[in-house]
Amino acid sequence: MDALRDSLLPLGLPGLFLIAVLDSAGIPLPGGVDIVLMLLAWQQPSLFLLVALIAAVGSTLGCLVLYRVGRTGGEVAVRRLDQEKVERVTAKVRDNDVAAVMVALLAPPPFPTKVFMLVAGLVGIPWPRFAAAVFAARMIRFGAEAYLAVRLGDRALETLQQNYPLVGAVLLGAILLYVAFRWFRGRGAQAATP
């Protein structure tokens, strides 16, 4: 898989797009999107938002592949996984579909992101809603990584690895605030309805 990643890297932005699609579709590429994205953003600082956008679009398309697998053959796909984990993920996705998908995509490795994508298809989240959640989470993550690469250069990856738990906690906190806001807003609407 290293050879595949290394052969796509010289392609620049199209290579990044393909790496993002493959990685998010369940074909693990060591270092994956993050390293290539940071390298390209560092090399072309004026294009860092475009680099993040291309990676986010590619990743969204790759996640839609897993979503489709979950939608069409989800029971078979998740049967080989730890059933206790699948049940927990299913409950989380049913309770807060957008937040669960976003947390899965923003959480640091080794978070079971692929399970969330499969379960999202299995429980039947409408695909536009799923795609919007994936794209938003990926834009946040990849935009932040590209910005770090521009600001910190070759130290960006090391800085990110050292501080990923803190970064993940901040992003998780932001999503939890969003969920709490929606919950309170929904309760207020219910109380206002006669």
Indicate the number of domains in the chain. 1
| DSSP-derived secondary structure letter, 109 | T
Predicted confidence at residue 158, as pLDDT, reads: 66
> Mean pLDDT throughout 44-60?
94
Predicted confidence at residue 85, as pLDDT, reads: 73
pLDDT band at 109 (very low <50, low <70, confident <90, very high): low
Measured CA to CA, the distance from residue 138 to residue 44 in angstroms comes to 20
Rounded to 5 degrees, what are φ and ψ at 30? -55, 130
146, 49 in Cβ contact below 8 A? Answer: yes
pLDDT per residue as tens digits for the range 119-148:
898 888 999 999 999 999 999 889 988 888
The tokens describing 29, both together, are: 């590429």
Give me the DSSP letters along 13-56: HHHHHHHHHHHHTT---TTHHHHHHHHHHHH-GGGHHHHHHHHH
144, 151 in Cβ contact below 8 A? Answer: no
> Mean pLDDT throughout 156-164?
64
Measured CA to CA, the distance from residue 117 to residue 65 in angstroms comes to 9
Strands (E), the chain: none
pLDDT per residue as tens digits for the range 58-89:
999 999 999 999 888 767 767 777 777 778 77
Domain that holds residue 58: 2-192
The tokens describing 94, both together, are: 């049913």
